[in-house]
Amino acid sequence: MSIYQEMNRKGYFSVQNTLYGRRSGIYHQMYKALGTVDPSTGRYYLENTDEAKRAFMREREYANTNWFKEVFTYNPIHTHTVTFSGGGENSTMYASIGFYDDRGWTLADNVKRITANIKNSFYWNEDKIKATISAQGNLRNQNSPGTISQRKNTVIGTFERDFDINPFAYALGTSRTLRPRNANGEPEYYRNNWAPFNILNEFDNNYLKTEVLDFKLQGELSYRLNDNIEAKGLASVRHAVTKSSHFITEQSNVIQAFRANETPYVAQENIYLLKNKDNPLQLPQVALTHGGMFNKTETSLRSYLGRFALDYNKQMGEHDIRAFGFTEIRYADRSINLSKVMGYNTTEGIRCSPIL
């Protein structure tokens, strides 16, 4: 706090930069409280006196927020598995089903997965013929913080990412004078990208949902031609689908940044507003006037495999001779579908604005 006060005395925290700049913390909160009237009392939220300002700063200093405790959690991982096995003289069977639940190490993470596996083997003609049929599948649902693709800055040779809410980076680099909640337990906002920001609110309104479905069916057949040669055949098919949905609601810092134009100064500085190239003197305008954003990526894979093999194994005295040869054919069909919806509204029946 003493460093902040020294910077303030040297003129670093001017009213314009602090109140209307791109990023600001406790001094933005203080200047905003000094200029905002409480409708219930008719007085300013913070009196413009040295004593009131010192009390305001002292309260933030003593907050000493441990952001790792606020953002990270301690949750056990649950893994439950049930297996069945059995068989008889000419067949064996194995089946299992499992459930995996990980509440995540941060408030924004959550993973649930169901897996199933079944395998049957059959034997005929004194085990000369063996057939095996197996099926495997898993279904996974995962929640994680919203992420926007990074871009390369060729000027300084770095990668940049807008609206980054990586929990570890946030907890590591955020000032401890900032608080996640005020004295009344309500979310406390400061300024980021010219708009109000609270990490807890951002986790609720800027998130990524991932759904994975993976299924595989496989059949194997082997036939022992004689004591030394065995023929084997295998056929399998696999189908996998991954859906990634990025939801950004109107209450998120992202959308509010795209609409931040409270003053002409903010409108000129805000890089997320639409600028008229034909009229550089015109104030930039808000392009995303309604709704939020919805980005969806769907990838699918359908693959086939066929294999035929011969296995030769013969023992001659103290020597073993073994040869193996096979031929196979593979086919894979991969596809990816991308969609980006602007003006997506989740509070009014999940619809898109026709204006955008």
Distance of CA 33 to the CA centre of its chain: 35
| Range(s) of the domain holding residue 250 | 74-162+189-352
Q: Which CATH number belongs to the domain containing residue 333 in this structure?
A: 2.40.170.20
Q: pLDDT grade, residue 202 (50/70/90)?
A: very high
- Domain membership flag for residue 299: yes
Q: How many residues does the chain have?
A: 356
Distance of CA 44 to the CA centre of its chain: 41
Q: What is the pLDDT of residues 260-287, one digit of tens each?
A: 999 999 999 999 999 998 898 899 999 9
Q: pLDDT grade, residue 345 (50/70/90)?
A: confident
Q: What is the pLDDT of residues 226-257, one digit of tens each?
A: 888 999 999 999 999 999 999 999 999 999 99
Whether the predicted pLDDT of 134 surpasses 90? yes
**282: nearest Cα among 267, 272, 262:** 267
- Domain membership flag for residue 168: no
Please say whether the dihedral angle defined by the alpha carbons of residues 56, 61, 62 and 66, taken in this order, is positive or negative: positive
Q: pLDDT grade, residue 96 (50/70/90)?
A: very high
- Domain membership flag for residue 43: no
Q: Average pLDDT in the 61-86 region?
A: 94
- Domain membership flag for residue 122: yes
Measured CA to CA, the distance from residue 249 to residue 267 in angstroms comes to 22
- Domain membership flag for residue 31: no
- Domain membership flag for residue 344: yes
What was the pLDDT predicted at 150? 81
- Domain membership flag for residue 230: yes
Number of domains, the chain: 1
